[in-house]
Each structure stands twice: as C-alpha cells, then as structure tokens.
Amino acid sequence: MNGSLPTRVRFNRIRFESIGGLGADSAAHALAATTVEKKGLDAAHLPSGGLERKGSRVRSEVLLASSDRPIRDGASGGAPDAIVVFHAALLRDPRTFAGLRKDGTFIYNAPAKSIPEELAALPRTARVLRIDAAGIAAKEKCAMNAVLLGALCGALPYVDAEAVLEGFCADEPGRNGFRRGMKEPETLADVGEADGDLSLSLGSRPGTGSAGGILSDPGTTVWNDVSAARTGFIPAFNRERCIHCGLCDLFCPDSCLVWEKGEEGGRFERELSGVDYRYCKGCLRCVESCPASAMLKKAETPAFVEQRSVPMFPEIVE
C-alpha cells in the first residue's frame, strides 16, 4: 500500500516540546509508527537524545512523507510544520518556538483563557490552538499525551486520527481523552505578531569556550530556572507552623530552601524563610519529611509562585 501527503517539499516535520515524564516521546512514536504500519506512508521518529531522566527538556520530532520519497535527512532540529507544547512553562523559553513555519500549526497545553504574552513571538499567520489537556486528562483519568496527540491529529488533515487512536490508546479513558483532544481545542486569533517563518537559530554564540573545556566559575547553575520540571504541584510553606528543625533541608535534592538568621532574642537561631521556586522541581520530599505540617502539597498557580517565592541569591541572580 502506498500513500501520499500534501507535503511542501519532501516531508512534514512535527515537533513535540515537553519535559521528561509526560509521554511526548511515546506519543510521537505512536504517530510515526502508525503512519508506517497502518497507512503505508514513510515516517521517521527522532526521539529526544541524552540522559534518561524526569523533568528535563524533551524534544521529539516526527517526519511524515509520501512512500515514494524516502526520508533521508535524519538530523533533528529542522523547521517544523507543527509544534505541540506539553507544558505551559516551556512557553517562556524561545527555543520552544524555533523555526515554526509561517503557515504552521502551534498547539499548547494550558487552561482556558491563558494566552501567555510570549506567544506574540509566533508568526502572525500561524494557526494557534489551545487545549486544556491537563484538565481533560484529570477528568477522563487518562494520560495527558493522549489528549495532546488527539489535538494534533484533529488539527492535521492529512493524519488519519482513527488509525493513530487505534495504535496508541488501548483503554477507554485514553480513547475518550484522545477524542476530546480532537474536538476541543480553541483556535486563537491575533496571537502571533512575527512576520514570516521563525528563525531556527537562536543567535550566534559570542565566541569559543575556554581551552581545555574548564568551567572556571563555580556554581553557575544558579542562573538556571528549573521550574519547568514541576508537574502541577508545589510545596507551600506555612511559617506559623514551622519549628525550623532543619529536617526538610536534609531531604531537598535541589537546595532550594532559603534559611536566614533567626530574629534577635527570638526562639530560633536559624529560621526557614521559604522556597525559591526558581529551583524547586516539585518533588515534595520536603512535604514528606516535615514533622510539623509546615510544608503542604498545593496545586501550582503562577500567582502563588510569584508572590511566595523567596530568592536565594538576591544579590547575584537577577
């Protein structure tokens, strides 16, 4: 069986932007595998490289092509026709948009009404779709990747959504999530402001590194923002309940708890003043270890993080 695609040149490229643990790689694989196995088309799946870990950036690409035009360029990072963003925190990173074609499709996962200002970087002519995949997944008790894959398949006329659904979702909740993903995305108008295709490169490097590859400044990861590793929950600190025992500090893998000298003449020589959410990955081991219920698991909202984050290095970072 041979098939064909309305492809611009040789293939269509779809990029999945996600963080480890949300199932972007497996959704991408399902799309590509179904295309090859069920539709007789050619496809490639370019999975995210590097270390296996949760919370890290995942970029998974799928190339779809007609079976008479074999896919030969296996280099990842080409200009995409569609981008699917699994986690709203990734919208803060310009790499998420890189290379989107002016007539491309951009799908992101966020609750209704959320249009982050960063989306202005998109081409004005691109199609922008928002889907509350997290909300739908919670309701349907399915994995979020089913909803987002549904949204993608619904948006691309040349993809056989039923075939992908068949290949990807074995259980009823997954099917329901996928179908809602197909139906429910909202098309947003007047979001992007850029003209033409977006650039693939993110500016040239200012120069070469030091000879020998020595990183000569200690502790430079403090400039990183690792908050995108969180998957919806944060520890909320209640200072009134805290006994400042220091247990949580032993179990925080990310050194993001901020301590200060206790009040002069007060009960405590050292006091916990809060969490620097820039560095918190939401593992909640502080909640697990707290003997005084001063750390509680809370659904994350941008406003809470904004108001309650305590900067750890106010004089150095930002």
Partner 1 sequence: MNKPPGTMARLAQSPARQRIEFRSGDEAASLAARAVGFEAAGLYPAPPSNQVALCYGAALGGVRVLGATNSRGLVAALEQLAVQSAARVPMVLNVAARALAAMPGSGCDHSALYQALDAGWIVLCARDPQAVYDLNLAAVRIGEHAEVRLPVLVAYDGHVTSDEKRRISVLDEPEALERFLGTRAQAPTPLDVAHPATYGAPMDEDDFLDNKAQLSQAMDAARRVIPEVFAELGALTGRTYPVLEAYAMDDAETAVVLLNSAAETAKEAADVWRDDARKVGVLSPNVLRPFPAEEFRALLRHVNAVTVGDRADSYGAGGGSLSMQVRAALQQDVDNSTIVLARIYGLGGAPFHATDAEQFLDEAFAAATAGEAREPFAYHGATHGEAAPKAPKGLPPIRTGEVTRGMAKVNDATGRLEVELAPLWKMTSVPSRIAPGHAACPGCGAFTSLHQLYKVLEGDLVVLFQTGCAIVVSSSHGATAHRVNCIHNAAGNGAATLSGLVEAYQQRVRRGELPPSGDVTFVLVTGDGGMEADLADVIGAAHRTPRMMILEYDNQGRMSTGGQATHSTTLGARHGNTAQLLAACNLPYVFTASEGFAEDLMRKAAKAQWYARNEGMAYGKILSFCPLNWKTADDAAQPALQAAIDSCFFPLYEVEHGHTAITYDPDAMGRRKPVAEWLKLMGKTAPLLDLVNEAIVEEIQAETERRWARLKAMHEHPLL
Nearest CA to 147 among 91, 57, 86?
Answer: 86
CB of 25 to partner 1, least distance (A): 10
Identity at 275, one-letter amino acid code:
V
**Which element (helix H / strand E) includes 133?**
helix 133-140
Beta bridge partners of 186: 130
Q: Which of 253, 265, 266, 291 binds partner 1 (CB under 8 A)?
A: 253
Single out the segment in contact with partner 1 by CB under 8 A; choices: 112-120, 126-134, 189-197, 270-278: 270-278
Q: Which residue in this structure is represented by tokens 């108008």?
A: 189
- Residue nearer to partner 1 on the CB measure, 157 or 207: 207
Please tell me whether residue 52 binds partner 1 under the rule CB under 8 A. yes
Nearest CA to 32 among 10, 9, 61, 5?
Answer: 61
Q: Which of 5, 22, 43, 148 binds partner 1 (CB under 8 A)?
A: 43
Nearest CA to 100 among 120, 118, 82?
Answer: 82
Which residues 274-293 are close enough to bind partner 1 by CB under 8 A?
Answer: 276, 278-279, 281-285, 287-289
Q: What is the dihedral of CA 25, 30, 31, 36, to 10 degrees?
A: 130
Please tell me whether residue 205 binds partner 1 under the rule CB under 8 A. yes
- Residue nearer to partner 1 on the CB measure, 64 or 131: 64
Please tell me whether residue 314 binds partner 1 under the rule CB under 8 A. no
- Residue nearer to partner 1 on the CB measure, 45 or 124: 45
Which residues 163-192 are close enough to bind partner 1 by CB under 8 A?
Answer: none
Q: Which of 225, 236, 305, 311 binds partner 1 (CB under 8 A)?
A: 225
Please tell me whether residue 224 binds partner 1 under the rule CB under 8 A. yes
- Residue nearer to partner 1 on the CB measure, 30 or 136: 30
Which residues 55-74 are close enough to bind partner 1 by CB under 8 A?
Answer: 55-56, 67, 71-74
| Tokens read off for 221 | 């990861």
Whole-number Cα distances in Å, 281 to 65, 183, 252, 254: 38, 32, 10, 7
Please tell me whether residue 102 binds partner 1 under the rule CB under 8 A. no
CB of 56 to partner 1, least distance (A): 6
Non-local CB neighbours of 6 within 8 Å, separated by 6+ positions: 158
Please tell me whether residue 39 binds partner 1 under the rule CB under 8 A. no
Chain-centre distance of CA 127, in angstroms? 19
CB of 231 to partner 1, least distance (A): 8
Cβ atoms of 136 and 214 closer than 8 Å: no
